[in-house]
Amino acid sequence: MIALVLQESGRTLAQSQVEFMGVSLADPWFLPLLLLLPLVAWLARERRRAVPARAPMIAQDLPRTWRVRFAWLPLVCEVAALACALFALARPLDGKVHLTSENEGVDIVLLLDRSTSMEQGQEGSGERRFDIAKRAVEDFAVRRMTDREGAADNICLVGFAMFTELLCPFTLDEKAISGVLKDLDVEQRRDLDGTSIGLAVSEAVRLLELSQAKSKVVVILTDGEDTTGLIDPLDSARLAAEKGVRIYAVFAGPRTVTRYDPLTSRRVSIPVRVKLLPALAKVTGARFFHAQDEQELEEAYAEIERLERTPRIEQAQAEHFDLYRVWVLAALLLFSCAQLSRHTWARRTP
């Protein structure tokens, strides 16, 4: 209790210079003096032995009394008192750092195209475009939910073909997203196949309407245009803009395709024109990305992650408490015990 009272009254502006045995010290240069304590103890013992008034012990075989057995205690108390005093001079500190942070959360809906066109092999690797897309989406989601700055985001996963399917509601558990994506495949039923971008964006906006986050983001990945016409994608984008939702659109596919030209009877490369996705991003104030291979897909998600960082305001307040009062008190108590012993029971012991 005494130590706690002394600590609370001992706020200081001193800064820790070094740590010694788990204790922060403000003036550690007093510590080397502790190495002289054995010499001080030896000199004190020899000085007491050389006192002329003390009679030498003639009979070596006389029984040793308890006074003789514990004659070393006063000297030990004196040396310990000196050690405590030196440690007090080193200014031991107890430091406390209070951190306060404000996070502006980001809720993200990931839209993943599950139409059968995503089964096409990726140029160069031959791997399915859908499998490459799943890896990119998973890596992005895991990074956002395990932010190295400690500001994790809520992630929701929605798959879409002709219709949408909520695969994973908003979560901070990266294992939930990874588990869903592991077993996810393209739509197998022909009557449910298609690419309903407008419906997917509308569903994402509906899910984000319930969000309390200040920043709301949709990231849609597809390899085609809207083929169903169920909902006009631009109408969905305008609704998103009204709700403060930004739509980042990623087109996963080649930049050029080879077509047969009947006029020249030769195959020619024709640039792939993507019109809808850039328009969606522009309406909501976001960006469009065209990724023709896995590396560009990863770069697109990395850029989205950079653009949608979580703003953080962090303040640190440090407090230091002097602990030397406890050591001074211990030194006084030990020295008092030594002197009391010298003048009572240990007065005539060598």
pTM for the whole structure = 0.59
Nearest in space to 128 (alpha carbons), one of 115, 138, 140: 115
What are the sequence ranges of the domains in the chain? 2-98+317-342, 105-310
Q: What's phi and psi for 24, nearest 5 deg? A: -80, 135
Q: Please say if the pLDDT value at position 54 is more than 90.
A: no
Q: For position 202, what pLDDT does the model report?
A: 96
Q: For position 95, what pLDDT does the model report?
A: 63
What is the arithmetic mean of pLDDT over 271-277?
Answer: 86
Q: Which residue has the higher pLDDT, 49 or 2?
A: 49
Nearest in space to 243 (alpha carbons), one of 281, 286, 197, 209: 209
The share of the chain scoring above pLDDT 90, in percent, equals 35
Q: For position 51, what pLDDT does the model report?
A: 53
What is the arithmetic mean of pLDDT over 185-214?
Answer: 92
| Domain 105-310: CATH superfamily, name plus number | von Willebrand factor, type A domain (3.40.50.410)
| Beta-bridge partners for 111 | 158, 220
Q: Please say if the pLDDT value at position 217 is more than 50.
A: yes
Residues 6+ apart with CB under 8 A from 56: none
Q: Please say if the pLDDT value at position 14 is more than 80.
A: no
Both tokens of 34, joined, read 């502790």
**Environment class of 284 (CB within 10 Å of its CB; exposed 0-12, middle 13-18, buried 19+):** buried
Whole-number mean pLDDT of the chain? 79
Q: For position 279, what pLDDT does the model report?
A: 95
Q: Please say if the pLDDT value at position 22 is more than 70.
A: no
pLDDT one-digit tens code per residue, 101-142: 555 568 999 999 999 989 887 665 678 999 999 999 999 998
